[in-house]
Amino acid sequence: MGLISVVLSSQVTYYLFMLKRLIAFLSILSLSISLPLIPASAAAKAGAKCTKAGSIEVVQGKKYTCVKSRNRLAWNKGVKVETTTSQSVQSASYANMKKSMLPKPVGNLFRYHYSPNAVVGFKEKIESELNYSMGYWTSVYDGTELFNVFYATEKDIDWLINAWKTYDLDKNGFTANEYKGRLEREGAQLNAGSVPSQEGRSHLSFFRSSTRPIQPDAMIPHENVHIVQQQLTKNRTSQMPCWLREGSANLFANFQISEKYGPSVYDDAKRADMNSYQSGSVEIRKFNDSQWFTHLKSLEGNFSGGCDYKNRFAYGTGLLLSEVLMADGGFEKMMDFWRAFSLEVDWRQSFKNIYGVELDTWYKTKAVPYLMQEYARVKRY
């Protein structure tokens, strides 16, 4: 019986191993099928045929433009893309925030709602960090109505849903369903916070395990950025591409906690954001230029495509894109870009109006080179 048990055990182990490999393969296959296919002609080469005059492709550090030559369209010889060092982009971005975001004391801007089992320590953390974070936004935030903030533990989901109803919030039930799903998936690690990205009046809610330790992090400053976004876009953050909405929230949150705890915190937080995608089956560090471009196009939605919370692609990618925008355009231009979402204008046109370049061209000439550079420099966990 001992030998038979060993054999059966080995067979079961082998079967489970192969099953896991099959599941992993199918997951990758499913994701690859859902992504837009990249045509073979996407890789530009000097003298090769192209289809649209003026189109631009960046391949291996060179920018090629489609031009008319001898009655045919062809890629020109290309010019080397000027790159800046990672530290110059990050440093310039940080310096622009520090110059423009001068913290000032703020009055009471929030109306707090706590569930019966709310943990006192986390209640204190919420109020302290929201006041600290909002102090950096006094130059642009002018909301006069108290903003509703809710905090409930895993024991109080029904209380939280009913509390929202009092203020006619979450009428579509989206946030309630999201929180229920996260409670089921995360259990004792539950640590949800959100300012729902939807038109109309919003709210800030925290749904957190009562046994989870309270530690310094960027979560509350991150969510506070979404409050400011809601106000500047006139409650239209649902129109923002997720790379901007989440990436710029990470940018400003990381800046604020670094000002509070020391400069080295920024690098640690940045690395965490850049690697938050690792639980998925796609390794973006292996992307080439064209794959990165396709990836960025998938992050232009609102929690669709590559924007879903589980894969978290928008958080690290968006942080790096926001660093480039802040380094090159400064704080005021980013605020103008946020405000532009309140207008009945396509946000891609607003991008061109504010930054002086077509969005896709900026992706190829500025964003993708920086993404590839930083993901090569910053290590995985």
Which pLDDT tens digit goes with each residue over 120-178? 999 999 999 999 999 999 999 998 899 999 999 999 999 999 999 999 999 889 999 99
User: How long is the chain?
Assistant: 381
Q: Is residue 285 part of a domain?
A: yes
Does 13 score more than 50 pLDDT?
A: no
Q: What is the CATH number of the domain that holds 237?
A: 1.10.390
Q: Give yes or no for residue 286 having a pLDDT over 90.
A: yes
Alpha carbons within 13 angstroms on the beta-carbon side of residue 176 total 15
Question: Residue 55 falls within a domain, yes or no?
Answer: yes
- Domain of residue 52 covers 40-80
Q: 30, 62, 80: which is the final residue of a domain?
A: 80
Q: Closest by alpha carbon to 44, among 77, 80, 82?
A: 77
Answer yes or no: do 264 and 333 share one domain.
yes
For residues 298-310, give the mean pLDDT: 73
pLDDT band at 334 (very low <50, low <70, confident <90, very high): very high
Is residue 104 a part of any domain in this protein? no
CA distances to 31, 233, 276, 285, 287 from 26, in Å? 9, 40, 22, 21, 20
Q: Report if residue 87 sits inside a domain.
A: no
Inside any domain, residue 85: no
Q: Is 78 helix (H, G, I), strand (E, B) or coil?
A: coil
CA distance 83 to 319: 18
Same domain (yes/no): 214, 334: yes
**Same domain flag for 61 and 124:** no
Tell me whether residue 302 is in a domain: yes
The HSE-up count of residue 135 (CA atoms within 13 Å, CB side) is 17
For residues 268 and 309, membership in a common domain is answered with: yes
Residue 177 belongs to a domain: yes
- Between these two residues, 125 and 198, which has the higher pLDDT value? 125
Q: Is residue 292 part of a domain?
A: yes
- Give the count of domains, the chain: 2
Say whether both 165 and 212 belong to one domain. yes
What pLDDT sits at residue 83?
Answer: 52
Say if CB 253 and CB 218 are below 8 A apart: yes
How do 191-194 and 56-59 pair as beta strands? unpaired
Residue 17 has pLDDT above 60, yes or no: no
Cβ neighbors of 192 (< 8 A, separation 6 or more) are 178, 179, 182, 186, 205, 206, 207, 208
In this structure, are 55 and 129 located in the same domain? Answer: no
Answering whether pTM is above 0.85, one says: no
Same domain, 285 and 177: yes
Average pLDDT, the chain: 86
* For residue 21, pLDDT beyond 50: no
235 and 274 inside one domain = yes
Give the pLDDT of residue 32: 31
pLDDT at 47: 86
Q: With 50 as the cut, is the pLDDT of residue 204 above it?
A: yes
Domain co-membership, 305 together with 198: yes
Asked whether residue 246 falls in the same domain as residue 116, the answer is yes
Pairwise CA distance, residues 131 & 111, whole Å = 12
Q: What is the DSSP string of 82-131?
A: P---HHHHHHHHHHHHHHH---------EEEEE-TT--HHHHHHHHHHHH
Q: Are residues 66 and 208 in the same domain?
A: no
Distance in angstroms (rounded) separating the CA atoms of residues 363 and 370: 10
3-state secondary structure of 207: strand
Sign of CA dihedral 103, 214, 275, 187: negative
316 and 178 both lie in a single domain: yes
Which residue bears the tokens 């009945």? 344
Under a CB-based contact definition with an 8 Å cutoff, are residues 219 and 194 in contact? no
